[in-house]
Amino acid sequence: MLRKPPVTVAFFIQFFSFLICFFIQSANATDTACTLVANSTLCSVWSTGKVNISTAWSIATFDTELRIWGDSPQHVADFNAIYGCTWDGTGLRYVFTYACSERLFESDRACNVDPAFQNSTWTNDVTQNATFGSRLNGISLHPVCYSACQTYANSLQAIYDNPSICPVGINPNLITARQKTLQYITNFCLTTTSNSSDCIKSIDSEATTCGKFPHYFFFYLSFLTFFY
């Protein structure tokens, strides 16, 4: 299960940007290895991609922890504690598409850098922004599409902007936490995605639902698997 993260501004960004996800690998996670996601039930659309996980983990463990991070009562409770909200866990889109891509292209970038691929072919910038796709250089994996990443960011912002869910008259550190998290995700979408015709539109399980998941779907699936 996710450990409840310490409530500090420095940690806020990590929580919802997914950098927290492997704060949870183990109490003694000193030995890690770049592990293929080809057999992942979530991230396998990047079949040659790798994530840096504890050597005590399998890719199935990675999937389980990622599911808990993205769609579980624990996740909702942590979100509300960190951001000062009363969110019910619904409304986000492309959560796992973002999570997989952030892990492969940013948090575990070192596992996926290809020395033979130093000049990115993915940076066809329709916005004419010089930083667009700049973090893709050196990575041969097909990047996630900008539209999916930005849809995730927009869905999160809609939750933050709803005063009935995330009130504004609270500790200013909580407001800062929301802003820093959105800033991190928006920057990721700008520098680490693509508008190319063969970018990754979404992971398979989010492709037919416009990026939505049944509430706590993975949590209950894991629960039933464990007991039956």
Is residue 4 a part of any domain in this protein? no
Which two tokens mark 208?
């037919």
Q: What is the pLDDT of residue 9?
A: 41
Domain of 144, in residue numbers: 9-227
Is residue 106 a part of any domain in this protein? yes
Specify the number of domains making up the chain: 1
Is residue 63 a part of any domain in this protein? yes
Q: What is the pLDDT of residue 223?
A: 41
Q: Quick one: CA torsion of 48, 136, 104, 197, rounded to 10 degrees?
A: -60
Distance, CA of 145 to CA of 207 (rounded, Å): 13
Continuous segment of H or E residues that includes residue 50: strand 50-54
Is residue 187 a part of any domain in this protein? yes
**DSSP conformational letter for 200:** B
pTM of the predicted protein model: 0.80
Which two tokens mark 225?
């698997």
Is residue 3 a part of any domain in this protein? no
Flag residues of the chain having pLDDT under 50.
Answer: 1-28, 126, 128, 215-228
Is residue 1 a part of any domain in this protein? no
CA-angle at 48, arms to 44 and 151, nearest 5°: 50
Is residue 2 a part of any domain in this protein? no
Q: What is the pLDDT of residue 227?
A: 39
Q: What is the pLDDT of residue 17?
A: 47
Which among 2, 98, 71 has a CA at the least distance from the CA of 217? 71
Q: Quick one: CA torsion of 189, 192, 194, 198, rounded to 10 degrees?
A: -120
Q: How far does Cα 145 stand from its chain's mean position? A: 14
pLDDT tens across 158-170, in order? 999 999 999 998 8
Q: What is the pLDDT of residue 138?
A: 84
Q: Contact 49/104 with Cβ under 8 angstroms?
A: yes
